[in-house]
Chain A
Amino acid sequence: MKDLSFLLPYFKKYKSKFQLGFLFIVLSNTISVYIPLLVKNAIDAIKDIKLLSDIYRYLIAIFSASLVAGIFRYYIRQTIIAASRLIENDMREDFWKKTLSLSPKNFEQKSIGAIMALATNDISSIRLFVGPAIMYLTDTFYRSIFVLYNMITINWHLTIYSLIPFPILGILTYYISSKVFEIFSKIQEQFGNLTERAREAFSGVRAIKAFNAEEQIKKAFNNESFDYMKKALKLVKLEALFQPGLYFFAGSSMAIILYVGGIEIINNRLTVGELTAFLIYSFMLIWPIIAFGWVANISQQAKASAKRLREWIQIESDIKFGSNENLNIELKGRIEFKGVKFKYYDSQEWILNDINLKIRENKITAIVGKTGCGKTTTANLIARLYDPVEGKIEIDGIDIKKIPLKVLRNEIAYVMQEPFLFSDTIKNNLLYGTKKSYEIDVEFYAKLAKLHNDVKEFPSKYETSLGEKGINLSGGQKQRAAIAQALIREAKIYIFDDSFSAVDSKTESEIIEELKNYLQNKTTIIITHKISIASKADEIIVMENGKVVEQGTHIELLLRKGYYSELFEKQSIEKELEELE
């Protein structure tokens, strides 16, 4: 119940809509149940010539009753179903609000596919419960009561006989629908296996071809596919059983009415009109029985979905917002790591193992080291994408946890290793990080990042769309766009994580020159593999296995004959190779 009670606040918000909806349900049922009675009266009136003139009144009454009931039915949907759509809307909004407040660590614990499933499948199945299920449940509940009441009023004797098949019908419906639910999840699982087979085959297609193994892989796929079919057929069998079974039991109720009712007519305890009304009524009762089974199922699924959604919405971000004491602080940009240790949640090894370092303000610091040595993690900790497991990081001597998160991140412009641009125009992408509300000279920054000449060639210049419906940027263009994006942000601390790897060496040195000029009064951190870049920094930090192993200027480090000078040597050979021809 805990899981469904999580939905209560949403219901409360649209309480009046639901109340109105329930009222309409009661009203429409009161009226529509009356229609078979009118039919009965009309038919019985035919027999009695004296009453014949009344027929017209009955017919008009049938029409008007159906019209009024119809209007109420219209409003039932417009209130309850509409409310369910609004709840869905709110729920999805709350989901996204929560999602945006989480930290990278939270995202590592759940795949994007699974998070998407929350927003689509789960919220949809809750919606189905909140709207249609509740509507049908209340509707059929009232309808059954009204129908039963009228049946009993006409002839309680016949009512009891006609209801004999219904308990069986109810049990059958419940049993089959719960079985369906069970088989359905097995089918889903097998569908997953099938999907994985296809993925594996298409991504390993070269190996398959190299071993002439097409036939065998096809066989493996077809086996999965066959298994899937077998499971699906089990469901088919149940469904095939359900419909005819339903009609059989519902129909047998009619047979009983016919037989018992026939005898009652002979005994003059029932009129033909009443018999007809009874037949219509028993027909009206079939649907409620089906609906109960269906609703039982929907609520099961909704419960499971609500549980998943509740768990996500109740996650606490591990990055706290920081205190409010330094709200109006102005950062200078001196960064210090004090005994910082860090590891990712699912890993045993320390990614950063006791890092102590100082990054000076208004200087360019380069961090070099092998892949996996902890360079990116260092940058991530400064931007508080993660918090250190041990030790602390200070900016201007203040623990960054004590700086409000918004203030801290506002002063950081971080170009990530794999920059991500959205499918929007180039201009909007470049302006993504800006805090200014006035018009910004995008071109100026694009020129700094050496992007302008590329953009000039695009069909609609800065208004060109990126992504699916637009153009795809090359790796180098993406990097330069991300650099421009960071420059437009206007921050105190700039971090470039391997941001020049796909940029050619000539453009690279041009950009570095521009950066040196433009970022004179900023703290700049450049993470790189390239000596050509690192050599231009004021200070170089060399990391290895989560530790700082060397620190100094280009010349100092060359003389030390360590990792840095090795790297320098290797890259000179590489350069020679490049220049050969």
Chain B
Amino acid sequence: MIGSGYIEEDSIGKVYDVKLLRRLLKYAKPYRWFIIVAIVLNIFSSAFGPLRPYLTQIAIDKGALKNNIKVVGVVALVFIAALAVQSIINYYVSYYTQYVGQKIIFDIRKNLFSHLLSLSARFFDKNPVGRLVTRTTNDVESLNEMFSSGIVMIFSDIFLIVWILVFMFYMNAKLAITALLTMPFLVVAVMIFRKKARDSFREVRSKLAKLNSYLQEKLNGIKTIIIYNKEDFELNSFKKINQEYTNANLKSIFYYAVFYPVVELISSVAVALIIWEGSSSYLRGEITFGEIAAFIQFVEMFFRPIRDLSEKYNILQTAFASSERIFKLLDIKEEKSAPVIPKKLENIKGTIEFKNVWFAYNDEDYVLKDVSFKVEAGETAAIVGHTGAGKTSIINLILKFYEYQKGDILIDGISVKDLEQEEIRKRVGFVSQDSSIFKGSLLFNLTLENENISLEKIEETIRIDGIKEFIEKLPSGLNYEIKEKGTNLSHGQKQLAAIARVLIRDPKIIILDEATANIDSETEKLLQKAFKKLFVNRTSLVIAHRLSTIYNSDKIIVMNKGSVADIGDHETLLNKKGIYYKLYKLQFYNQIKTNI
């Protein structure tokens, strides 16, 4: 199984390649026309920026200095009109590119979530839920910034630079070259800053990570600190880590403090150069006043995008780090042994048979050893056994959460291996111990929005004894909103909901892992009523924690350390005075006492 392994956290400070970007851009493909239009509009609208100094020049040279008020007025109007057009275009470009960015994020998130859900139980055994949640939420989120501001801004910055160059050279090539004389200095300054700022940014990030993980850990272990009187000690170790973080921050101030003034200084040199060169050109009559004024504005305009490009680079860095983690998850491919010719369970009767089944979660560490038993159609079989006897594994195998190594499991005589997961899960109803309740209405929890469930079936189910009273007791019945983690339902109520969820589907086979948690007697009565309906006319396999379940079952499968120790009915097994007798006394001790 490739990739079911644990996903390692990667460290910051990697060199990212074009591959990653190319892969990210694939997600942009469906929106390519949006993007192309946005880029074209961007090319167009960036021209308006340098147009302004150009207009200034005309206003001065052809208007003000020639005593032509009309030209001044026209230019001012054109100026405003150009601004308006540019603003409108910019609004649309900015909105639609960010819109595309959001769409892409939505798509990536959708893909990732759906991919993760398709992975096996084994994958979820190995990867903590918290980490998977972070990947689908925070990591995808940091891509957002790249798509919405990073990429678009980089394009518009580049176009702006190009347009300024075009205008400058069009107006006066000599002056343009003069202005550009400072360029190498600016580029060098930006590059040095980018490298230094990135290094120090990383330093800050890693110190922050250290600080946060320290806090997280100590808060988790706060009681240990308290009982061992280690408050002073921990305060001192915190001071050290905190100081390290502060020092990293103080160091990074230096680069910013130097960088911005240096850019200003270079730009003032450029202005001085233009005036210097401009003055001699003016004397030779090669240049006008307006052009000098315009060039000074060009310089101001030119420096901003170059300065900002370095900031954009940081956004890309963070996004790449996240996308790498996301792609790592998306790249997990599991070999699924799908049946070559999948069989169907039409007209299912519901016999379940285990034939010499061997199963291990890892390697050769068998938790089921040569397990064989048969549950006939319509029978109720209870599985009993001590902790670790292999009860849950039996359930996991029938539902095809895992694949067994040896032997065979048959449903109506058909090997589970020849059945698709969906086919089995369609026919087998499962009530888990924790009942898995989701946030949403009770109705949502019952149907899980399965379209094959008819309204009649829902109505029929909610009239079943036990279920009926349970729903009636809830303030808004079927529309009752269940909170996160099902906190506004009791254990018993959750199990009732889970039973209703199965009944609504009316499967031929039921698998039930009875809850061990304490259930109040009133709810317990409702549960007993619901069970009656649940077990009738169905094949049921129950991991039994209730005495009543044992009494009502047709056969009992006694598990011990991964093997079937005995099979039989309650009376016979009890009379053998074997393992079952002991288990019975152990597990049902309190229930026996109260029943007697």
Contacts and interface: CB of A to CB of B under 8 A. Distances in A.
* Physical interaction between A and B: yes
A92 B211 CA distance: 11
Contacts of A82: 250, 253
A442 interface: no
B580 to A, nearest CB: 11
Nearest to B121: A206
Interface stretch (B157-165, B195-203, B265-273): B265-273
B415 interface: no
A398 interface: no
A232 B102 contact: yes
B246 interface: yes
Contacts of B245: 89
Given A66-B265, A104-B223, A116-B215, A272 B293 contact: yes
B242 A93 contact: yes
Contact of B114 (A88, A107, A218): A218
Contacts of B484: 196, 200
A206 B432 contact: yes
- What is the interface residue range for chain A against chain B? 35 or more
Given A214-B118, A573-B582, A198 B132 contact: yes
A473 interface: no
Contacts of B59: 258-259, 262
A440 interface: no
Given A66-B268, A89-B243, A247-B90, A205 B275 contact: no
Contacts of A501: none
B224 to A, nearest CB: 5
Interface in B218-241: 218-231, 234-235, 238-239
Given A63-B269, A266-B67, A580-B579, A236 B84 contact: no
Interface stretch (A248-256, A446-454, A503-511, A512-520): A248-256
B594 interface: no
A274 to B, nearest CB: 11
Contacts of A194: 137
A197 interface: yes
B221 A422 contact: yes
B129 A261 contact: no
B219 to A, nearest CB: 5
B260 A73 contact: yes
A35 B223 contact: no
Interface string A371-412: 000000000000101000000000000000000001001101
A240 B275 contact: no
A104 to B, nearest CB: 6
A52 interface: yes
B425 A211 contact: yes
A369 to B, nearest CB: 14
A92 B243 CA distance: 10
Interface string A469-505: 0000000000000000000010000000000000000
Contact of B425 (A46, A212, A239, A570): A212
A413 to B, nearest CB: 8
Contacts of B44: none
A245 interface: yes
Contact of B234 (A65, A100, A279, A420): A100
Contacts of A581: 561
Contacts of A93: 235, 238-239, 242
B32 to A, nearest CB: 20
Interface string A29-49: 000100100010011011101
A222 interface: yes
A209 interface: yes
A212 B426 contact: yes
A59 B226 contact: no
Per DSSP, chain A at the interface is helix
Interface in A227-276: 229, 232-233, 236-237, 239-241, 243-245, 247-248, 251-252, 254-256, 258-259, 261-263, 265-266, 272, 275-276
B436 interface: yes
Interface in B261-287: 261-262, 264-265, 267-269, 271-272, 275-276, 278-279, 282-283
A218 B112 CA distance: 11
A10 to B, nearest CB: 14
Nearest to B212: A120
Contacts of B224: 416, 419-420, 422, 432
Given A209-B401, A244-B88, A262-B64, A69 B129 contact: no
B448 A78 contact: no
A240 B279 CA distance: 42
A74 B256 CA distance: 8
A216 interface: yes
Nearest to B426: A212
A265 B212 contact: no
A216 B289 CA distance: 70
Contacts of B230: 432-433
Nearest to B448: A213
B571 to A, nearest CB: 20
Contacts of B289: 43, 46-47, 272
Given A92-B242, A236-B102, A420-B224, A52 B216 contact: no
Interface stretch (B73-81, B169-177, B344-352, B357-365): B73-81
9 contacts: A39-B296, A49-B283, A55-B276, A191-B141, A202-B124, A225-B109, A243-B94, A244-B88, A433-B228
Interface of A: 32, 35, 39, 42-43, 45-47, 49, 52, 55-56, 58-59, 62-63, 65-67, 69-71, 73-78, 81-82, 85-86, 88-89, 92-93, 96-97, 99-101, 103-104, 107, 112, 115-116, 119-120, 191, 194-214, 216-222, 225-226, 229, 232-233, 236-237, 239-241, 243-245, 247-248, 251-252, 254-256, 258-259, 261-263, 265-266, 272, 275-276, 279-280, 283, 383, 385, 406, 409-410, 412, 414, 416, 419-423, 432-433, 467-468, 489, 566, 570, 573-574, 576-577, 580-581
Top 4 closest A-B pairs, CB basis?
A: A70-B261, A207-B436, A262-B72, A259-B76
